[in-house]
A = this chain, B = another copy of it.
Amino acid sequence: MAPPALIGVDWGSSSLRAFLIGADGVRLDRRRSDQGILNVADGGFADVLAATVGDWRRAAPGLPVLLSGMIGSRQGWAEARYAACPVALTTLAAGFLALGDGVHIVPGLSAVGPDGVHDVIRGEETQLVGALGPGGRGGGLFCLPGTHAKWARIADEAITAFHTAMTGEVYAVLRAHSILRHGMAEPGDRDATAFDRGLERARQPGGLLHHLFSVRAEGLFDALGPAAAPSYLSGLLIGHELAGIGDLVGAVERVTLVGQGELIKLYARALDAGGARVDMMEGEAAAEAGLWRLARLAGLVEGEG
């Protein structure tokens, strides 16, 4: 077993995941906690880090610590500026924010569209690097479904473009707070037929704001039951996301989905229905691999990155 070489932490809004990684890149240990930045009082991030991985650090003094995610936002430990896209992975690694005591934060990414409008990523850049694989063998189009879904194009060891879609959050607020909640049961088993109906509806003219009302109207005519409605809404939204992003990235022929659980299965189903070839990678594994690769590119640990 190789000696420890890096502590990597994927530190988001609601949780954190810490990895102890050996000099050969193989994980030695991992921990999870609900101490996401929104749950840390009075800026006590150093204390949370010590409580979570202090024993790892004491056992191997001088071990570098690399953090990614919302911990680098204005509401986090310290603000790590956004690196401007397109960005080479080496540039991303050169942009770490050093906090002292061997702790570094990966910067987020910013992009400006042809119309001058901004987009940002914070945390997913590290998963993208991990999903790319060792040596960057796998460029292409990547999608990270979630509250704010991220789509990114990677080529020649650089993240060349990315786009955010608020699909997951719109789903959540409509379910919890809009009139659509009246015709919906709590999400249970996925209803594939209802999901596909939502996808199909999204392909029709009228736009999302019109299509959303069909959740209500179909319910009034008992054409959509409360148990099926969440899957239908999900299909509507994911269908619109794919159509909109498709207009930006060109034909979606092959996509690597990074994430876990039911959600990436839904995306895979929608992409498959659209004729795309889909690869999948587990989200936590992508974060760990990305932290490792970036640490090597930055020279925090030995090796070629």
- A positions within 8 Å CB-CB of B: 110, 113-115, 117-120, 148-149, 163-167, 169-170, 173-174, 176-179, 200-201, 204-210, 212-214, 216-218, 220-221, 223, 237, 240-241, 243-245, 247-248
Chain B nearest Cβ from A155, distance in angstroms: 20
Q: Do B119 and A244 touch (CB < 8 A)?
A: no
CA distance A221 to B79 in the complex (A): 13
Copy count, this protein chain = 2
User: Which residues on the B side are within 8 Å of A214 (C-beta)?
Assistant: 117-119
Task: Point out the residues of chain B lying under 8 angstroms from A241, CB to CB.
Answer: 207, 209-210
Most buried by B among A163, A170, A178, A206: A206
- Identify the closest chain B residue to A150 (Cβ): B213
**Beta-carbon contact of A169 and B164 below 8 Å:** no
**Chain B residues, CB < 8 A from A220:** 118, 120
Contacts of A166 in B (CB 8 A): 178, 209-210, 212-213
Residues of B within 8 A of A173 (CB): 173-174, 177-178
A200 engages B115 (CB within 8 Å): yes
Docked CA distance A148–B179 (Å) = 10
**Which has the most chain B C-beta neighbours within 10 Å: A148, A209, A214?**
A209
Chain B contacts of A119 at CB under 8 A?
213-214, 217
Contact B179 A177 (CB under 8 A): no
Report how far A208 CA is from B204 CA in the complex, Å.
15
B contact residues around A244 at 8 Å (CB): 205-210
Q: Is the CB of A206 within 8 A of B247?
A: yes
* Contact A204–B165 (Cβ < 8 Å): no
Cβ–Cβ < 8 Å partners of A178 in chain B: 166, 169-170, 173
Q: Known contacts A173-B178, A176-B177; decide if A117 and B209 are in contact (CB<8 Å).
A: no
**Given A206-B248, A207-B241, A209-B241, 12 extra CB contacts under 8 A:** A117-B214, A118-B218, A119-B214, A120-B216, A148-B213, A163-B206, A165-B213, A170-B174, A177-B177, A206-B245, A207-B243, A209-B244
Residues of B within 8 A of A223 (CB): 117-118
Whether A209 pairs with B210 at a CB distance below 8 angstroms is: no
Known interface pairs A117-B218, A177-B176; A207-B209 also in contact (CB < 8 Å): no
Residues of B within 8 A of A218 (CB): 117-118
Would you list the 9 A-B pairs with minimal beta carbon distance, nearest first?
A207-B244, A205-B247, A118-B217, A165-B209, A164-B213, A173-B177, A166-B212, A165-B210, A173-B173
- Given A201-B115, A204-B115, A217-B119 in contact, is the A210-B179 Cβ separation under 8 Å? no
Query: Which residue of chain B has its CB nearest to the CB of A203?
Result: B115
What residues of B have a CB within 8 angstroms of the CB of A164 in the complex? 210, 213, 217
Q: In whole angstroms, how far apart are the Cα atoms of A220 and B117 in the complex?
A: 11
Residues of B within 8 A of A174 (CB): 170, 173
What distance in Å separates the Cβ of A22 from its nearest Cβ neighbour in chain B?
Answer: 37
